[in-house]
Structure 1
Amino acid sequence: MESKVSEGGLNVTLTIRLLMHGKEVGSIIGKKGETVKKMREESGARINISEGNCPERIVTITGPTDAIFKAFAMIAYKFEEDIINSMSNSPATSKPPVTLRLVVPASQCGSLIGKGGSKIKEIRESTGAQVQVAGDMLPNSTERAVTISGTPDAIIQCVKQICVVMLESPPKGATIPYRPKPASTPVIFAGGQVRADPLAASTANLSLLLQPPPLPAYTIQGQYAIPHPDQLTKLHQLAMQQTPFPPLGQTNPAFPGLDVSPPASTHELTIPNDLIGCIIGRQGTKINEIRQMSGAQIKIANATEGSSERQITITGTPANISLAQYLINARLTSEVTGMGAL
């Protein structure tokens, strides 16, 4: 199977997702969309670019394996061309490698790494490309970034081997795809002054604090990292300091009569019906734990006929919402990977 895939002769349809910065996306699209149109026509692959005013965009490539390899080759050579053009105006003498970031379901990353890192080492040695699998999942998803660096030829060989792994080890359970967040919108004040949205800035700072911490704060189980209880306690304390629902009559002691708690906002997400039970728990025990730990108000919509998903509405400060999402994702990950309750 591996040799057939490596020769590009296996007619299996795959979908590969790439994470790109705005400048990279612009290079792929080209003037009036000419570059991406040419890539679609010559490779035979479907190439879709996510919408939205985001610093990062998702580029989805779908098609038979040989079409995907052609599309990747065209993207890698286009990026190398961009590097060469940028170096003509630069004093740098050594050419930096081409770098691509794949977005891969976390449940497939164990197969990609291999026992004791054996598979990823084999891919590095046989292709000459550098391959790094992120330790943490991308925000609000069950996917991880896989970064590939090297010459275009090394990257193409590397992608072929990754496709083999993905075909041999399909994702387990439901995958929550990563969706890049839009850039914060400015607030226009009287007089035409433009300032960054302070709530968005607050959210950005809090999201940095609430990113899953480095590995020492985790216990490793297989290829998955489980947060220590004391780490969740720190996140809980941060959220409780900023709860938007203070006891009645409570005000800031420094400014009597003034309530300066951050304003409440609302975030919505959808969860597959077959996973909603692990979020609710027996007689609502799990969802109540998440409410208490995060300080957020969480409402789960009733199941609607014909829909395979349920909507969850989270209300609170950015810290409350981030922690609630963190805890919900932890529950989903434990269910999908079969690791039991966190």
Structure 2
Amino acid sequence: MEPIKVQSEGGLNVTLTIRLLMHGKEVGSIIGKKGETVKKMREDSGARINISEGNCPERIVTITGPTDAIFKAFAMIAYKFEEDIINSMSNSPATSKPPVTLRLVVPASQCGSLIGKGGSKIKEMRESTGAQVQVAGDMLPNSTERAVTISGAPEAIIQCVKQICVVMLESPPKGATIPYRPKPASTPVIFSGGQAYTIQGQYAIPHPDPEWVFNDDLIALLSSSSPPQQLSKLHQLAMQQTPFTPLGQTTPAFPAAGLDASNQASTHELTIPNDLIGCIIGRQGTKINEIRQMSGAQIKIANAMEGSSERQITITGTPANISLAQYLINARLGSSEALACSNETTGC
């Protein structure tokens, strides 16, 4: 970030970029239903607000524009987070309202100026704004940036951000900055019976953030015609993952299937809810045939049993074939079509 400093009668009048680090639920709150919240923030503030892509537990939110636009955007974000806190408290016995918290990502070379000699600057910011400010001692992984955490009432946060911007403009970064890029979730996540699970060792553990369930790259491949050059990438994606656990189980933690290194053919069974089977089969069997072709496995779907809400799927092939077939089936259930399928009686 190399902003050009310009002074005007109204105070700071510069264009700069500020980066925020947010968790998945925070990002979801900022985006809003069908992106309506972030669209309104962009329009009302005049700032550019970009959200990093990727299947990551954390995302980078980049806010760029003149300082007045940036401050408006920060105000809207802070008040939105306060609204979320108030809404969450309506179902909680807690009486004291927790503070709003934002995490800025700042080049480490500027953090000394934010702290000041003997901590004088950060102490001044705390006292003059009423916000709590903490500068992380360690740099974020694989970067030369640190997290700066600001907590307090929205008004205090806005005043604190203004002071931080002034310090950052007066003390530009020294040398090249290696920006922090959140790492993708290291463990695969599966979806079963309305619950997300992460693979930990030999067990699938309930996952708190279902918005991170599915790999965007894989869904993009599945929604395309999957030409030959993409199939090798698809195999690579699947082989990088731990094989998936059978669906339909309801215990809090259940054993995850292991990958046998041998190439001997074997059989694996899993269950799919009846209302989602159409999403796996597709219209006239197009999707299940695609999964068979891509995985190389034989896949048989049992007829519906009277009184049962589930269908049995039998997968036969090498461990690699079975692993890929399971991966593709779970990915189909995570596609945008799955919800529509659950509301229809015909295949998608």
After superposing the two structures, state which structure 1 stretch, 78-87 or 248-257, moved more. 248-257
Change (3 A) 1:281 1:122: farther
Structure-2 change in CA distance of 1:190 and 1:148 (3 Å): closer
RMSD: 17.2
Deviation at 1:184, TM superposition (A): 2.6
Cα pair 2:301 2:313 within 8 Å, conserved: yes
Change (3 A) 1:48 1:244: closer
Q: Which moved more, 1:85-94 or 1:288-297?
A: 288-297
Residue aligned with 2:38, SS: helix
Q: Report what 1:288 is aligned to.
A: 289
Rate the CA distance shift 1:274–1:120 in 2: closer, same or farther, 3 A: farther
1:63 CA displacement: 0.3
Confirm or deny: 8 A CA contact 1:140 1:329 kept in the other structure: no
Question: What secondary structure, in the 3-state scheme, does the structure 2 residue paired with 1:229 have?
Answer: coil
- Contact kept? 2:199, 2:205, Cα under 8 Å: yes
The aligned counterpart of 1:206 is none
Question: Is this contact kept in 2: 1:251–1:258, CA < 8 A?
Answer: no
* Deviation at residue 186 of structure 1 after TM alignment: 2.6
Q: Within 1, Cα distance between the matches of 2:254 and 2:199?
A: 46
1:143 deviates by: 0.1
CA contact (8 A) 1:14 1:64 kept: yes
Question: Does structure 2 retain, via aligned residues, the 8 Å contact 1:53–1:182?
Answer: yes
> Larger deviation: 152-161 or 304-313?
304-313
Task: Determine if contact 1:252/1:260 at 8 Å carries over to the other structure.
Answer: no
Q: Secondary structure at the match of 1:111?
A: helix
Provide the rounded CA distance (Å) in 1 between the counterparts of 2:9 and 2:202.
31
Q: How does 1:290-305 map to 2 (within 5 A)?
A: none
State the 1:153 CA deviation: 0.1
Deviations 1:19-77 (A, max 9, x none): 00000000000000000000000000000000001000000000000000000000000
Give CA deviations for 1:77-136 in whole Å, capped at 9, x if unaligned: 000000000000100000000000000000000000000000000000000000000000
Q: Any conservation in 2 of the 1:244–1:263 contact (CA below 8 Å)? A: no
In structure 2, what is the Cα distance between the partners aligned to 1:224 and 1:131? 39
Q: Tell me the secondary structure at the aligned position of residue 171 of structure 1.
A: coil
Contact persistence 2:259–2:323 (CA under 8 A): no
Confirm or deny: 8 A CA contact 1:101 1:146 kept in the other structure.
yes
**CA shift at 1:10, angstroms?**
2.4
Alignment CA distance shift 1:275-1:221 (3 Å): farther
Give the CA deviation at 1:11.
1.9
Cα distance, 1:226–1:192 mapped onto 2, change above 3 Å: closer
- CA distance in structure 2 between the aligned counterparts of 1:114 and 1:308, rounded to whole angstroms: 64
The answer on whether the counterparts of 2:188 and 2:198 sit within 8 Å (CA) in structure 1 is no
- Unaligned residue ranges in structure 2 (runs of 5+): 210-229, 341-346
State the identity as a percent.
Answer: 94
**Partners of 1:164 and 1:11 in 2: CA distance:** 11
Answer with 111-120 or 310-319: which moved more. Answer: 310-319
- Pick closer, same or farther for the CA change 1:86–1:16 going to 2, 3 Å: same
Q: Which residue of 2 aligns with 1:123?
A: 125
State the 1:288 CA deviation. Answer: 52
Q: Is the contact between residue 28 and residue 35 of structure 1 (CA under 8 Å) also seen in structure 2? A: yes
- Preserved CA contact (<8 Å) 2:247 2:271: no
Larger Rg: 2
Partner of 2:12: 10
- Corresponding residue of 1:259: 260
Could you tell which deviates more after superposition, 226-235 or 26-35? Answer: 226-235
Q: 1:191 to 1:80 in 2, by over 3 A?
A: closer
Contact 1:314 1:321 in 2 (8 A): yes
Judged with a 3 Å threshold, the aligned counterparts in structure 2 of structure 1 residues 190 and 27 are, in CA distance, closer, same or farther, namely closer
Q: CA deviation at 1:187?
A: 8.7
Give the 3 Å change call, closer, same or farther, for CA 165–239 of structure 1 in structure 2. farther
Is there any run of 5+ residues in structure 1 with no aligned partner, and where? 194-217
CA distance 1:319–1:45, change in 2 (3 Å): farther
Residues 68 and 260 (structure 1), Cα distance of their counterparts in 2 relative to 1, 3 Å cut: same
Q: Note the alpha carbon deviations across 1:285-312, whole angstroms, 9 max, x for none.
A: 9999999999999999999999999999
Could you tell me the TM-score, scaled by structure 2's length?
0.53
Residue 223 (structure 2) aligns with: none
